[in-house]
Chains A and B, each alone.
Chain A
Amino acid sequence: MSAIIFIFAPFVLALLLALFFRGKSSVSKFVSLALFASMLSFSLDLFTKLPNSGYLDLGSFLAVPAFSFTLSLQVDMLSTIMLTLTSVMLILVAFASWSMKNQALYYSLLIFFSGAIFGVFMSTNFLWFFIFWELTLVPMYFLVGIWGAERRIYAAVKFFLYTHVASMLILLAFLLIYKEAGTFDMTLVKEGMLLSPVLIWWLLFVGFAVKMPIFPFHTWLPDAHVQAPAPISVLLAGVLLKMGAYAMIRMVILLLPETSQQYAWVILTLGLITLFYAGFMALYETHLKKMVAYSSISHMGLVAIAISTMSYAGLSAALYEMIGHAFVIAPLFLIAGFLHHKTGSWQMGDMGGIMQKAPYISAIFVLAGLGALGLPGTMGFVGELSILISAMHSYGIWLAVVALGSLFGAGYIIWTLRRVIYGEMSELVAKTNFKMNIFEFAALATFALFIILFGLFPNILFDFLNPAFAQFTSLGGAL
């Protein structure tokens, strides 16, 4: 089956479901699960077909040679890993959204999003990449704006505008690349072809830094994360931020290695600031979901540090942390959203003693929290340790300060556990019934399983991740 189906079929499906199956929520639910499952099997199947190095060509469509505007779909190890992660997240998010209201529209927007995100990871034409990159905003805008919490409208419009401005910088960089290199094909463009690599580097860096997000371009994220419905926060953290990191690796580090080498200190400094600033904010926060959001930003700071090493080990560690972060942060968001849904409060002060009322959910929350602070045996530990080692290897011993980031993490997570899960049972908790939909709980449990599985056996994942960059080292450049 041609790969292009997974990009355009979701658009058509989403449209049909939204227009003609408005009343029938179960139809869109099962269609989306079937679609995401076939996306997962397609991505897994790609692993067996990938060549040892370089790209697997999945075909070119809609060729416009006069503008180098061709939808060329090519995947390598890096993008296949992202595709797999995305499809897993989509399936789990679909389960986690089981009891949403107005489901027909909700699931058709999810389906639309899946097509756009597959386009992002598969297309190797800059302009088409940009088209799908922008297209992910549209369903997110509606998902946050319609199903969000009290200040959803502010958050949705801010998210849309903020990231759209950043995208404009990216588009300008792509147009400049086309002028200077004569092609939009990212597999053909080399840094040497460019006349103004520094300008292009800065445009791309700022553009992608907003999406990741890196301090000081992160301000859209706490709002969007907090106001979005819980499953959409998961999608934001697990897929959309990863899209930024993916683009940062592919189009900043690997496309412009020499300029990146020159400015690696910028990425490193901002990454460190992000790590500590967001960690500090999380420590200070009493709003449960905002705390999780800042913890999410803090982890992306770690990813930025790992990317800035520009080494084989560092990039693998970054990729591992990206996946680990997706699995660790998802249950935290889902449970925070669930608690708000049940108790009607965001404040940690109103909660306490949830362990006594809802032991299973609390156990998963504790496990994910420990993963976020990097307890050995969870995914978080492996990610943070490998980033620490690669950073110290590249920049020297003083990068041991990264470990302090984990200390911050330990601070806010353990304090949160103390206030929310353990301690005295509050009145609000005592009178609330914490009954969770079975499908939503299944999604939570799956995330927990992944955290332990890949935490205990990181090799399963690293065996996939390492080749993603091994091929890049052989291609030369500054790596």
Chain B
Amino acid sequence: MISAFTILFAVALLSLLFHRSVLLKPLSLTAIALSFFFTLQGATVALMGFSSSEHIQLFELVLEVVLFALVLHEEEDITITQTLFLGASSVLLLQADNLLSFIISFESLSIISVVLVSYIKTKEQAEGAVKMFIAGSLATGILLLGLAFYVMGGGLLLEPLATGGSLFMDVGTFIMLAGLFYKLTIVPFHGWAADTYALVRHSHAAILSGVAKTVAALAIFTIFAPFLATHLELSVPLLATLAVVTMTLGNFLALFSKNIARILSYSSIAHAGYMLLAFVAVKSSYADEGILYMAIAYIFMQSGAFLALDSMKKHYGVSTLEELQGFSAQNPILAFFFTLQLFSLAGIPLLAGFLAKAVVFYAGVDAGLWWLVLIALLNSALSVGYYAWIVKTMYFDKLTAKEVFHAPVQFATGAQVILALGTLYFGVFAGSIFNIS
């Protein structure tokens, strides 16, 4: 059966033969376009333990668009292959509906993420990769420990997660959540992320924080939402605390950072807090749309921001705020795209980030947690402090760079255009998300 998964997986294997050839990129792009077409036709993995829904299908389409942009941007052969592998396992993870398939595809996504960052050229990249590997191993350990408890309590692997059962099953499920929260970079499991995202190559960080994390968040929500909804008395206070701590800490740390990649990493942690809000508000019927909207908006804006940063670093040597001063005079187009994605992250309207936040926050209000939403809103306002500061550095400060690049330096405009269009489209046409269910 041909589906997005089989195409991506097969072409990922095939692409190994095409390294160092000009055909690699066209081949990969064609494969992603094909998988988009098949997803549009409704093709699913069609194996036992996998099923799809309209929400998942929409997100897969978005994912394939973003993968297209990522490959378009990428210049290294090995990363293109790994992007395809990562896409294939993302599709698996999104469609997983029983516990075993979920855990297997989740682990395959983790492993590919580690392989991705293990393409090391500098000491800093090595540090980031090792931190991620250790955190990932720990997360896997905790996840399996939780699973062991769950199975010991009588849970079944080939069934969806049980919503109620023995004490061991409930305890096991919460332990599993703790393991999964490593991937979601929820405080206190966030330590590795700030370093990894900031130290590895920016295009890798785009894939890790933009794609892998978002896919994981959506998949975890799909599997765990029924369980959380039946354990509100425990899950609401616990997750609400984690959400508040995550977004507040992330935002404050970002506020005090000088390195742009680090600011984006901390902002990624803060966004995990907003996503967690949907987990807290699970009893609201808007939580489904909320997490989906957040995932779609986030995958566009985070990948876009990191890819823009990648181009800036590669062509202009920019990595700190100081080096960014007056950047709009050097490359107005790239500065514009970066600004657009930053404003979307900040939740400025007509961009996807705003509507995503509005829907998630409404889910919170709908669940009767208006005080929690107030904290989240103030956090969101706080985050404008550093996003607007980056924009200020690019536009208001005078150019101080020693080398001024006069010639218009090429960058992957195509990728930026695709991601910017996605951010704009989902910032205006909310109907594409609400009208499907």
Residues of A at under 8 Å CB distance from B?
A: 11, 18-19, 22, 62-67, 69, 127, 130-132, 134-135, 137-138, 141-142, 145-146, 152-153, 156-157, 160-161, 164-165, 167-169, 171-172, 175-176, 178-179
For B384, list chain A residues within 8 Å (CB). 160-161, 164
**Given contacts A62-B431, A64-B431, is CB(A172)–CB(B370) below 8 Å?**
yes
Question: B396 at interface (Cβ–Cβ under 8 A)?
Answer: yes
Residue B362 interfacial (CB < 8 Å): yes
The answer to the question of B130 belonging to the interface, with a C-beta cut-off of 8 Å to chain A, is: no
In the complex, which residues of chain A have a beta carbon less than 8 angstroms from the beta carbon of B362?
67, 175, 178-179
Residues of chain B in range 403-437 having any CB-CB distance to chain A below 8 Å: 428-431, 434-435, 437
Knowing that A145-B395, A168-B381 are A-B contacts, what are 14 other residue pairs whose CB atoms are under 8 Å apart, sorted by A's residue number?
A11-B350, A66-B437, A69-B434, A134-B354, A137-B348, A141-B388, A146-B395, A156-B392, A157-B389, A169-B377, A172-B370, A175-B373, A178-B362, A179-B366
Counting chain B CB atoms within 10 Å of each CB, the highest count among A62, A134, A141, A142 belongs to A141
B355 to chain A, nearest CB (A): 8
Query: Known interface pairs A63-B431, A64-B431, A127-B358. Does A171 touch B366 (Cβ–Cβ under 8 Å)?
Result: no
Given the known interface contacts A62-B431, A67-B434, the answer about A172 and B396 at a Cβ–Cβ threshold of 8 Å is: no
Q: Once the chains bind, are A19 and B430 in contact (CB under 8 Å)?
A: no
CB distance from A220 to the nearest CB of B (A): 13
Residues of B near A137 (CB, < 8 A) are: 348
**A172 with B374: CB separation less than 8 A:** yes
Instruction: Tell whether B336 is near chain A: CB-to-CB under 8 Å.
Output: yes
When C-beta atoms are compared, the residue in chain B nearest to A166 turns out to be: B381
**In the complex, are the beta carbons of A161 and B396 less than 8 A apart?**
no
Once the chains bind, are B365 and A171 in contact (CB under 8 Å)?
Answer: no
Q: How far is the CB of A162 from chain B (nearest CB, A)?
A: 9
Known: A145-B396, A176-B365. A161 touches B381 (CB 8 A): yes
User: Could you say which of A63, A175, A179 has the most chain B C-beta atoms within 10 Å of its C-beta?
Assistant: A175
A172 interface neighbour in B365, B366, B428, Cβ under 8 Å: B365
Cα of A131 to Cα of B347 in the assembled complex, Å: 10
Closest to B432 in A: A64
Closest to B363 in A: A175
Q: How far is the CB of A9 from chain B (nearest CB, A)?
A: 14
A11 nearest in chain B by CB position: B350
B385 touches A161 (CB 8 A): yes
Q: Which of B333, B365, B380 has the most CB of A within 10 A?
A: B365
Q: Is B36 an interface residue, CB under 8 A from the partner?
A: no
Any chain A CB within 8 A of the CB of B327? no
- Identify A160's interface contact among B388, B430, B435, CB under 8 A: B388
The reply on B300 being an interface residue by CB < 8 A is no
* Residue among A18, A22, A137, A171 having the largest count of chain B Cβ atoms under 10 Å: A171
B187 sits at the interface (CB 8 A) = no
- List 15 contacting pairs A-B, 8 Å CB cutoff, sorted by A: A62-B431, A64-B431, A66-B289, A130-B349, A145-B395, A157-B389, A160-B388, A165-B381, A167-B381, A168-B377, A168-B380, A172-B374, A172-B377, A175-B358, A178-B362
Distance of A4 Cα from B388 Cα, bound (Å): 29
Q: Which residues from 270 to 310 on chain B have a C-beta closer than 8 Å to any C-beta of chain A?
A: 286, 289
Q: Which of B332, B354, B373 contacts A22 (CB 8 A)?
A: B332
Tell me which residues from 73 to 128 in chain B have a Cβ below 8 Å from any Cβ of chain A.
none
Query: Is B133 interfacial (CB-CB < 8 Å)?
Result: no
Is there an interface contact between B395 and A67, defined as CB atoms closer than 8 Å? no
For residues 202 through 218 of chain B, which have their beta carbon under 8 Å from a beta carbon of chain A? none
Chain A residue contacts of B343, Cβ below 8 A: 138
In the bound complex, residues from chain B placing their C-beta under 8 Å from that of A171 are 358, 361, 377
Q: How large is the interface on B (under 10, 10 to 19, 20 to 34, 35 or more residues)?
A: 35 or more
Question: Does B385 lie within 8 Å of A134, measured CB to CB?
Answer: no
Question: B158 on the interface (CB 8 Å rule)?
Answer: no
Given A62-B429, A134-B349, A135-B349, A67 contacting B365 (CB threshold 8 A): no
Write out the residue numbers on chain B whose beta carbons fall within 8 Å of the beta carbon of A146: 395-396
- Measured between alpha carbons, how far is A160 from B388 in the docked complex, in Å? 8
Q: Which residues of B contact A65 (CB under 8 A)?
A: 434
Cα(A69)–Cα(B358), bound, Å: 11
Task: Please report whether the interface of chain A is mostly helix, strand, loop or mixed according to DSSP.
Answer: helix
Q: B residues within 8 A CB of A172?
A: 361, 365, 370, 373-374, 377
Chain A residues contacting B428 (CB-CB under 8 Å) are: 62
- Chain B positions 339 through 353: 1 when the CB is less than 8 Å from some CB of chain A, otherwise 0: 000010000111000
Instruction: Write the nearest CB–CB distance from A177 to chain B, whole angstroms.
Output: 10
User: Could you say which residues of chain A place their CB within 8 Å of the CB of B434?
Assistant: 64-67, 69
Interface centre among A67, A134, A167, A176 (most CB of B within 10 A): A67
B378 adjacent to A165 (CB under 8 Å): yes
| Residue in A closest to B397 when the chains form the complex, CB atoms | A153
CB distance from A196 to the nearest CB of B (A): 9
With A156-B392, A156-B396 as contacts: A135 and B377 at CB distance below 8 Å: no
Within 8 Å of chain A (Cβ to Cβ): is B135?
no
Residues of A within 8 A of B354 (CB): 131, 134
Instruction: Give the one of B361, B392, B429 with max A CB within 10 A.
Output: B392
- Indicate if B243 sits at the interface (CB-CB under 8 A): no
B361 CB contacts on chain A under 8 angstroms? 171-172, 175
The CA-CA distance from A450 to B167 in the complex, in Å, is 77
B residues in contact with A66, CB < 8 Å: 289, 434-435, 437
> Is B236 an interface residue when CB atoms closer than 8 A count as contact?
no
Residue interface bits B375-404, CB-to-A below 8 A is 1, else 0:
001101100110011011001110000000
A142 nearest CB neighbor, chain B only: B395
| Cα separation A67 to B384 with both chains bound (whole Å) | 26
Whether, in the assembled complex, B359 has its beta carbon less than 8 Å from a beta carbon of chain A, the answer is yes
Given the interface pairs A64-B434, A134-B348, A134-B349, the reply to whether A153 lies near B392 with Cβ below 8 Å is yes
Nearest CB in chain B: distance from A75 CB, A: 21
**A67 pairs with B396, CB closer than 8 A:** no
> Contact between B378 and A157 (Cβ–Cβ < 8 Å)?
no
Q: How far is the CA of A157 from the CA of B286 in the complex (A)?
A: 34
A137-B395 Cα distance, complex, nearest whole Å: 16
Give the residues from 238 to 280 in chain B that come closer than 8 angstroms, CB to CB, to chain A. none
Once bound together, how far apart are the Cα atoms of A153 and B388, in whole Å? 11
Most-contacted residue by chain B among A22, A127, A131, A145 (CB, 10 A): A131
- Of residues A152, A168, A176, which shows the largest number of chain B Cβ atoms within 10 Å of its Cβ? A168
Residues of B within 8 Å of A141, CB to CB, are 388, 391
Output the nearest chain B residue to A199 by Cβ-Cβ distance: B370
> Smallest CB–CB gap between B358 and chain A, Å?
7
In angstroms, Cα B381 to Cα A67, docked, is 23
- The answer for the CA separation of A23 and B45 in the assembled complex, in Å, is 53
Give A63 to B435 CA distance when docked, in angstroms.
10
**Closest A residue, CB atoms, query B364:** A175
CA distance A28 to B367 in the complex (A): 48
- A-side contacts of B380, CB under 8 Å: 168
Closest A residue to B384 by beta carbon equals A164
Complex Cα spacing A130 to B350, Å: 11
**Bound state CA distance, A153 and B429, in angstroms?**
34
Partner of B388, one of A69, A152, A157, A178: A157
Bound-state Cα–Cα, A168 to B380, Å: 8
Whether B365 contacts A152 by the Cβ 8 Å rule is no
**Which has the most chain B C-beta neighbours within 10 Å: A22, A64, A156?**
A64
User: Given A168-B378, A171-B377, does the pair A64, B430 have CB atoms closer than 8 Å?
Assistant: yes
B385 contacts which chain A residues (CB < 8 A)?
157, 161
Contacts of A69 in B (CB 8 A): 430, 434
Chain B residues whose CB sits within 8 angstroms of the CB of A168 once the complex forms: 377-378, 380-381
Chain B residues with CB under 8 A of A169? 377
A11 / chain B contacts, CB cutoff of 8 Å: 350
- B389 (CB) vs chain A CBs: closest residue: A157
Whole-angstrom CA separation of A19 from B429 in the bound complex: 24
Instruction: Provide the bound-state CA to CA distance between A287 and B336, in Å.
Output: 36
Docked complex Cα distance between A35 and B350 (Å): 21
A4 → chain B closest CB, angstroms: 12
CB distance from B288 to the nearest CB of A (A): 11
Give Cα distance in the complex from A132 to B427, angstroms.
Answer: 13
Contacts of A132 in B (CB 8 A): 349
CB-CB under 8 A from A18, the residues of chain B are 336
Cβ of A175: which chain B residues have Cβ within 8 Å of it? 358, 361-362, 365, 370, 373
